[in-house]
Chains A and B, each alone.
Chain A
């Protein structure tokens, strides 16, 4: 139990000397992505080998450094030398790596990069020295195309601290912001700092965080509540999962600062059901923070008390909407309410409540530590700081990318993420999840921030970015999102509940070749009706996928309706696959991959696709290295 701020500083110092001991440290990235790629086996193999050889190495589990594509990632820190990252590790490679390190061999053939600093953002009083010892050929981490343009604020400690050990967070400068607040800042001053920094909610709405806090601070009523929205429901977005799994402490610190600013004593973190590891790590972190006197009554001996509980969602997308989330936390069905009164005045149990998303909370300690000036200088005119995007889909490097606001889509997709997979053509990018929009190639130079995205007919949302190539049918994508939203509509507003169903029917007709003239106009009419007659964000933005694809890809709708063709070769009823003999190199991959036995061929002959057996799954087209499977 840390009883005072003075003791906290001492503890930080001790943690630091422990953290930077003279031992070799091997860290394995064990977030959900890592584990799904076999990080568990790698961890076991490395631990086992270290024990077997009787080595005095520290083996630890960390979260995710964001380049999910190359998991499992292992990093090795030999005192005095740069930290070396290894990618696509396996149990066997792990064992060999341990042997190699013990003999001074860095196994550079598996190395991804070396990093000359220990953390990416927090300055350290112990920088690693410049010796390279045979690592000169390994690329510098900060020069990797994937990381070069990134600036990590929310993700700063992810993949660098052990999410099960609060001392590592302390050693990395954790809780300095809380001690600063408790020692020298009053509530007004904190709120001013957050407001002047220009921090806007990272969950989608983009509301100015400081203003929300001020309303809550001034609102009468007691007790007040703090909520962290970890119900990251947008399919395709997983940055909040990464923070909750990899650095749960930063969320607790941010929430505690918020609680101190508005005078709250109790907080909730609402995590979606699909993130069991996040729940586990958050619960562990809360337990440790209580033991260390950083949560509970009388935090750091200042008399200020605050505690947090974790609540799990139960599989309802609409609960990401704040009034629905509050209803769910009260043990009710997650239905949104009209927002004539904001939760900051009347929220959980009818009391003033601040509700911010995970990424927003993760920004708070840094702003306090570094000052609002520093933060306000990053980003674009009206969107300050950085935003984490999860760039996924048909792109070469998938993963989490944290960049200053205002960077162009082109830089994110091409410079950072390496462009489109398999050298195909870029078709569009869906930003903002199901309620966002699909932006075409002509908008690649759009500067990404809250306002620019809204103007282009999309939105920031929680920061999902799904990159699509020319093998993706945007009409089908609009159908998919509408199907999702139809299912997730809570059913309270007739416009949303019934209107989305009607849109879905029209889209299903179009994608199955039964589109009729007048369908496009019908869609537009339905969209404007839903937008104007729904009370919550889900309904108001639900038409976005249809409207944005109609705006930028109208030709494709017309091709489906008039020519009864799906140019991308996705809509099954409108597609026929054939093999082009001139392009085919007789590798036979298509024959092997076909799940229905439709592709057949004799030796030295171009395979033939039996149309009666073909289920139009497109696997043969995806696997063909020569683009010989064509859509006719």
Chain B
């Protein structure tokens, strides 16, 4: 793993520590999670204690210290989604992928994240994959969507 990118990200924010949250977001975007060496590099380069970097990385729920899958499945548990069938979607995802909130599939394809609200409540229940939002979800639609992802994966594998 090269840590060169970490330095570039910090330079983009002129090394100002008020941008620490944004810096870590960009680091996470680069590596898909927050690897410990990257956190150490951030602390060292910004001349702040590692404990402060760790504090931020663990306080905010969008940061992950564990490696995540290729696709991030975001399931909304906002009030409306909760009332309109969140539990059924969560169970269907568990049936389809065998993962619960915060877990990653063994093939490192999908990570499931449950969030408070995606702000698309009129379309509840809502699910997003890599920020593409799917509205008025049903367990059946969950099946169809993951089937289409699997097909693309197979197609890519067989080179078609």
Contacts and interface: CB of A to CB of B under 8 A. Distances in A.
A393 B116 contact: no
B83 A274 contact: no
Nearest to B53: A331
A254 interface: no
B78 to A, nearest CB: 3
A37 B139 contact: no
B103 interface: no
Given A37-B123, A394-B83, A235 B78 contact: yes
B97 interface: no
A69 B80 CA distance: 14
Nearest to A40: B132
B3 interface: no
B152 interface: no
A625 B99 CA distance: 33
Contacts of A622: 85
Given A331-B20, A334-B60, A619-B88, A466 B120 contact: no
Contact of A392 (B91, B121, B139): B121
A347 interface: no
B133 interface: yes
Nearest to B78: A235
A352 interface: no
B131 interface: yes
Nearest to B114: A487
Interface string B57-72: 0011111000000000
Nearest to B23: A331
Nearest to A35: B133
Contact of A331 (B56, B115, B118): B56
B31 interface: no
Contacts of B118: 32, 274
B47 interface: no
A390 interface: yes
A392 B62 contact: no
A36 B80 contact: no
Contact of A466 (B79, B95, B115, B123): B79
A468 B83 contact: yes
Contact of A68 (B20, B25, B123): B123
B18 interface: yes
A392 B122 contact: yes
Interface residues of B, number: 48
B36 to A, nearest CB: 18
B9 interface: no
B2 interface: no
Given A472-B83, A480-B82, A595-B91, A312 B22 contact: yes
Nearest to B59: A333
Contact of A334 (B59, B82, B119): B59
Interface in B99-126: 115-124, 126
Contact of A33 (B20, B63, B78, B135): B135
A317 interface: yes
A68 B122 CA distance: 6
Contacts of B91: 595, 615, 617
B17 interface: yes
Contacts of B63: 314-315
A488 interface: yes
B22 A311 contact: yes
Contacts of B80: 235-236, 392-393, 466
B19 A619 contact: no
Nearest to A32: B120
Interface string B21-57: 1101100000000000000000000000000100110
Contact of B59 (A33, A316, A390): A316
A619 B86 CA distance: 12
Contacts of A33: 120, 122-123, 135
Interface in A512-557: none
Interface in A10-68: 32-33, 35-37, 68
28 contacts: A32-B119, A32-B120, A33-B120, A68-B120, A69-B122, A233-B116, A234-B117, A235-B82, A238-B117, A238-B120, A238-B122, A274-B116, A311-B19, A314-B21, A314-B62, A316-B59, A331-B19, A332-B55, A332-B56, A390-B121, A392-B121, A392-B122, A477-B83, A484-B116, A488-B116, A593-B140, A617-B87, A619-B85
Interface of A: 32-33, 35-37, 68-69, 232-238, 241, 273-276, 311-317, 328-334, 349, 390, 392-394, 398-399, 430, 433-434, 464, 466, 468, 472, 477, 480-481, 484, 488, 490, 593, 595, 615, 617, 619, 622
Top 3 nearest A-B pairs by Cβ distance? A68-B122, A314-B60, A235-B78
Interface of B: 16-22, 24-25, 52, 55-56, 59-63, 77-85, 87-88, 91-92, 95, 115-124, 126, 131, 133-135, 139-140
Given A331-B17, A595-B139, 17 more contacts: A33-B122, A36-B133, A236-B79, A238-B121, A311-B19, A311-B22, A315-B60, A315-B62, A315-B115, A331-B19, A334-B59, A393-B84, A464-B79, A466-B83, A484-B116, A595-B88, A595-B95
